[in-house]
Amino acid sequence: MGTDHIVKSFDEALTRLAEVIQRMGGIAETQISEAIDAVVRRDAELASRVIEDDRKVDTLESQVDDMAIKLLALRQPVASDLRFVVGTLKISAEIERIGDYAKNVAKRAVALSQIAPLKPAHVIHRMGDVAQQMIKDVLDAYANRDVERADAVWARDAELDELYSSLFRELVTYMMEDARNITGSTHMLFIAKNIERIGDHATNIAEQVHYIVTGKSIEATRPKGDETAFAVVRPGGGS
Amino acid sequence: MNTMVANKAKAAQPQGAGPAALKVVARDVNVHYGQKHALKGVSIDIPDRSVTAFIGPSGCGKSTFLRCINRMNDTIANARVDGSIKLDGADIYDPAVDVVQLRARVGMVFQKPNPFPKSIYENVVYGPRIHGLAESRADLDAIVEKSLRGAGLWDEVKDRLREPGTGLSGGQQQRLCIARTIAVEPEVILMDEPCSALDPIATAVIEELIEELRKDFTIVIVTHNMQQAARVSQRTAFFHLGLLVEVDDTEKIFTNPQDARTQGYITGRYG
Ligand SMILES: Nc1ncnc2c1ncn2[C@@H]1O[C@H](COP(=O)(O)OP(=O)(O)O)[C@@H](O)[C@H]1O
Ligand SMILES: [Mg+2]
């Protein structure tokens, strides 16, 4: 990010800030994929590693805070530099939240590993892939100041919302079929919701990238596919 | 005297309704110093009762343009100005314009505080006297108090008005020069790097004063300090190589400038 400043150390400080974000993002990505693996493979040990990793993200977040505050105080950035520093601060908070959601998924993976396996795990896997890809793409967009890529991530959130809605219906039906599925399905539902929230945070990052690069906010309203808040599932099928 | 009053009355237009009234409107202003083309086709609207900051690298023409607004360039032998500059809609380069009157309406504060080697009191009443703005001793006393209050200096000097202005601190001298400028009740105040010789505290005092002054005056300030432009102005104009590259709301210039040259300059990149 930091290039071409007459004062080289200013460039370096901006570049270091961007590097910490990439590290945070890398860990968050791994957290997501491992948390999902832990769910699918019923691997409690892997899950506890994901939970552990969340501390690393938290530490990096406070590192970003420190660096950004120093930059603001000492360099008084303006224009694109100011947007970059402020946007980066917000992005690090978004990644921190993503880490928390991945941790929550991992906690539920531990619980799920102790009960009978459930059918719809493959949709969870699919959701996890989409979320992970969104994080990866949006951080690439951040690193390369690539506004089109950021906008594409932003639009992709609808896909995740749709997956979530369909899984929601599937799980509700499943629970109604057999009350013994309720515990596992409830965990699954929360896991799916966590992943759906991760997608929301990825879109928030996309919005920040869009602002950093263009100085304008994404005008269109956020794509919304999650309508489960209004969904009614009746016994005997049909919703 | 009468024209001054009339001018003041005209300046006191209702505020807040609609877009801000334009105090100074410049169109396609060019300045040559001999063969040197120092200012190239500058057009700008300067709104009434607000602060407009001019920024840009040294030698880009900021002071040159500032001096066009009160025809100070007339005093430079080899300077040639063309284009149009209107003050409240009237062309200031019209041959009928009385330049002395014009400079009473458009006052100027310079980089180095330059009080006359006279008392504080005499510094302030100098302008009103030559413009015949006051007759009686009481009138002059009133102008001195009002101007020094306006410049935020009254409390510091009210007990030593007879002492020389040159005995004041740098920041106080600059405020004395501002008092001297506002004593003739101008409508526009031009300031050419008014804080560059002052320490940070004296600078902050002047900046606070500018904030006060813009309620009554239109202010145009040249500054090398971009943070200062950001702090004190509502509009910022960026000059480069004799061109006015970009002028916009100060917030816009410092968060999202449109021209790559502006961006490069304010963020400290190579232009
Ligand atoms: N009196 C003058 N005679 C000849 N050239 C001048 C004179 N005043 C300024 N210039 C030239 O005009 C250009 C603009 O100068 P100036 O308006 O003082 O720039 P700024 O205030 O932005 O530093 C510069 O190249 C400067 O050398
Ligand atoms: Mg100058």
ipTM for this prediction: 0.73
Q: Which residue of B has its CA nearest to A217?
A: B256
Handedness of CA A88, A90, A95, A99 (dihedral sign): positive
Reply yes or no on whether the pLDDT at B137 is more than 60: yes
Mutate to test the interface with B, among A11, A72, A78 (most CBs of B within 10 A): A78
* CATH number, domain with residue A57: 1.20.58.220
Distance B68 CA to ligand 1 centre (A): 12
Residue of A120 and B143 predicted with greater confidence: B143
pLDDT number for residue A228:
63
* Closest C-alpha residue for ligand 1 atom 8: B64
What does the DSSP assignment read for B57-121?
STTSSHHHHHHHHTTGGGGSTTEEEEEEEEETTEETTSTT--HHHHHHHEEEE-SS----SSBHH
Using one digit for the tens of pLDDT, what is the confidence trace for B89-134? 999 999 999 999 999 999 999 999 999 999 999 999 999 998 888 8
Q: List chain A residues with CB under 8 Å of B264.
A: 4
pLDDT band at B145 (very low <50, low <70, confident <90, very high): very high
Q: Is residue A239 part of a domain?
A: no
Q: Is residue A50 part of a domain?
A: yes
pLDDT of residue A231: 62
Q: What's the pLDDT at A4?
A: 82
CA B240 → CA B28, B194, B257, distances in Å?
A: 16, 21, 14
CA of B55 to the centre of ligand 2 (A): 10
Looking at the predicted structure, is the pLDDT value of residue B18 above 70?
no
Q: Is residue B256 scored above 80 in pLDDT? A: yes
- Give all strands of the β-sheet with B218-222 in edge-to-edge order: B106-109, B188-192, B218-222, B51-55, B235-240, B243-249
* A223 within some domain: yes
For residue B250, the tally of other CB atoms under 10 A from its CB is: 21
Residue of B nearest to A77 (CA): B267
What would the pLDDT profile of B184-196 be if each residue is shown by its tens digit? 999 999 999 999 9
Q: What is the pLDDT of residues A12-31, one digit of tens each?
A: 999 999 999 999 999 999 99
Give yes or no for A116 touching B (CB within 8 A): no
| Residue A123, pLDDT score | 87
What's residue A230's pLDDT?
Answer: 63
Rounded Cα distance between A54 and B84, Å, is: 66
Indicate if the pLDDT at residue B232 is higher than 50.
yes
User: Are A78 and B256 in contact (CB < 8 Å)?
Assistant: no
- Output the pLDDT for position A234: 60
What is the rounded distance in angstroms from the CA atom of residue A130 to the CA atom of residue A157?
A: 9
Residues of chain B with pLDDT > 70, as a percent, come to 92
Residue A131 belongs to a domain: yes
Q: Residue A93 belongs to what H/E stretch?
A: helix A79-112
The mean pLDDT value for B76-90 works out to: 96
Q: In CATH, which of 3.40.50.300, 3.40.190.10, 3.20.19.10, 3.50.30.50 is domain B15-112+186-266?
A: 3.40.50.300
* Nearest-CB residue to A6 (from B254, B256, B270): B270
What per-residue confidence (pLDDT) applies to A118?
78
A238 assigned to some structural domain: no
Give me the residues of chain A with pLDDT under 70, please. 1-2, 120, 219-239
Task: State if residue B63 touches ligand 1 by the CB under 6 angstroms criterion.
Answer: yes
When divided into structural domains, chain A yields a total of: 1
How high is the pLDDT of residue B132? 85
Spans of all domains in chain B: 15-112+186-266
Check pLDDT > 80 for residue B269: yes
Residue pLDDT, tens place only, B213-222: 999 999 999 9
Tell me whether residue A237 is in a domain.
no
A7 has a chain B CB within 8 A of its CB: yes
Q: Closest approach of chain B CAs to the CA of A132, in angstroms? A: 32
Residue-range definition of the domain harbouring residue A104 = 3-230
Ligand 1 pocket: which of B36, B37, B39 to mutate (most atoms within 8 A of CB):
B36
